Amino acid sequence: MAAYACPACYGLLRVTANLFVDPAMSVEDRTKLQEAISRAAAQVTAFYGSFDHTPTLLACASEECDHRLGGKGARANTYGTTFIRVSPNGLNQTILAHEFSHVRDCLP
């Protein structure tokens, strides 16, 4: 939870208003991640009919980053509708859509 309150305090870099990444992530991988996020949001929208809430994503490219943020082996964790922590093994459309569905389920 503390990493969400201050991503920079945990060494994360802001890419967009709702995306913070591990500095170990290359620019090319950041672009691929942003594309996967867009496709995952579209997938959830196609299933649920709407998904206009954008949680903050904290994305790790290294195991060190993931452990620093409290990761313990899960590919990603969703915290209410507020933020999602993504491990190096969760940086893909399938995992992101799964996490977005948790966010969508929590919305009124």
Sheet bearing 19-21, strands edge to edge: 13-16, 19-21, 56-59, 83-86, 76-79
* pLDDT band with cut points at 50, 70 and 90 for residue 108: low
Domain regions of the chain by residue span: 2-106
- Fill in the DSSP letter of residue 8: G
Amino acid at 3: A
**pTM score, whole prediction:** 0.91
pLDDT tens-digit readout, 5-56: 999 999 999 999 999 999 999 999 999 999 999 999 999 999 988 777 789 9
Q: Which CATH class is domain 2-106?
A: alpha beta
